[in-house]
Structure 1
Amino acid sequence: MGCTLYLFFNFFCPKCNPFFFPLSFNSTIRHQPNYVETDIRFTHQSLVERSKAGHSSSQYELYSLYVDAMYNVGLRFLGNKEDAEDIVQDSFVDAFRNLERFKYESSFGAWLKRIVINKSINHLKAKRIDLVPMEQHAFHLSQEEETMENEAVDIKKVKQGIAQLPDGYKQIINLYLVEGYDHVEIAEILDITTSTSKSQYHRAKRKLLEIVKEL
């Protein structure tokens, strides 16, 4: 028991655990290094490499640079501040523990965001929040809905509408419209087929348009 308590408190001690950082989602970073990059994949490369070498100050600097953005990603999926904070903290711990696996196939931010999204979706799955059931055939927008799609919409209303979507629809909308993943990537993330991703997205978009029109 004593050993368990020792490990528990050490995990939450910044001096004892280099992977733990206090959550501060609204903090302002006053001194951000001015890195000149030629490829977005290598953004903050020197920080990443020093973090791989175990430099806690570089890890904290990476954390400070990305924590607010990652919190917003988690919050969009989970809709709960406490859950989003927990997911972001877990994501940073996993990211720094597995940093050697990061090979610059994407930017560090994109790699980290994928971790946050995967953890958020797994959290929702644990609560048994699944995709909204749909027919087997692909869904297509009607001509009327395509016209609605082309109309100018209020971004504030769109955000409010997304918040009111069923969780399954919200996942698809966030992944496609907000996070910018394509349907192949979404299918991989959600463990569904590409056609299901497309169908689910069109249904979610139709529902979103209905909500926005009522706001």
Structure 2
Amino acid sequence: MASTNPDIDYLITQCGKGNRSAQFEVYNRYYKAMYNTALRIVKDNHWAEDVMQEAFLKAFTKLDTFKGDVAFGAWLKKIVVNHSLDSYKKINRHTAEALEPVLYKVEDEDYKNEEVLDFTNMQVQQVITAIQGLKESYRIILTLLYIEGYDQEEICEIMGITAGNCRTTLSRAKSSLLKNLNIYEERGE
């Protein structure tokens, strides 16, 4: 494993051997961050808790697939994000259809002139509230980009969409976010 933390490497090895105390230690180290990740996607405390716990179980049973190419936390986070999205789509079938690529092709030239979002003068809660007010496909893609830190290639893989659809959805989501943020600024929130 190519981790910089030998302690986590040892714990992961022990988890792979079925050591319950090592699993509990890994759970304690990562549960809060993974819960927050799930909560940002499913938007319900109890549901996020269930999703997070199921993702940990899946991770512990699939430890043999962890190759150490990325940090364990990043590998686990991807499991949580994918499980959150799958769970969200199952519960919200009508919303899941909106996530499917029903997008029009936009020329790449449009993205060269795209406005860059600058959040430096805004309150974090203001941005989060604005993102939460977007339609589901926009909320999810911006959460993956800005909050979870995934790049566009990873978002394409997670959401199962093409690079063109990802760019289009991101562009439209950013535009909608800017509109929401302008509304909050005008209200003085």
TM-score for both structures, normalised by structure 1: 0.74
2:137 to 165, 168, 172: 168
Match of 1:114 in 2: 78
**Within 5 Å, which residues of 2 pair with 1:145-156?**
146=115, 149-150=117-118, 152-156=121-125
Q: Matched residues in 2 for 1:41 and 1:176: separation?
A: 26
Q: Matched residues in 2 for 1:141 and 1:43: separation?
A: 44
| Runs of 4+ deviating beyond 4 Å | 38-43
SS of 1:67's equivalent in the other structure is helix
Q: Matched residues in 2 for 1:196 and 1:41: separation?
A: 37
Shift of residue 146, structure 1, vs aligned partner: 2.2
Q: Does 1:85 align with 2:49?
A: yes
Shift of residue 165, structure 1, vs aligned partner: 1.3
SS of 1:146's equivalent in the other structure is coil
2:80 aligned partner, one-letter code: V
SS of 2:144's equivalent in the other structure is helix
Q: Matched residues in 2 for 1:131 and 1:196: separation?
A: 11
Q: Give structure 1 stretches of 5+ with no counterpart.
A: 1-37
CA, structure 1 residues 180+104, in 2 after alignment: closer, same or farther (shift >3 Å)?
same
Q: Which is helix-richer, 1 or 2?
A: 2
Match of 2:99 in 1: 131
TM-score for both structures, normalised by structure 2: 0.84
Q: Identity over aligned residues, as a percent?
A: 34
Please, what is the CA RMSD of the aligned residues? 2.3
Larger Rg belongs to: 1
Q: Matched residues in 2 for 1:102 and 1:141: separation?
A: 36
Q: Give structure 2 stretches of 5+ with no counterpart.
A: 185-189
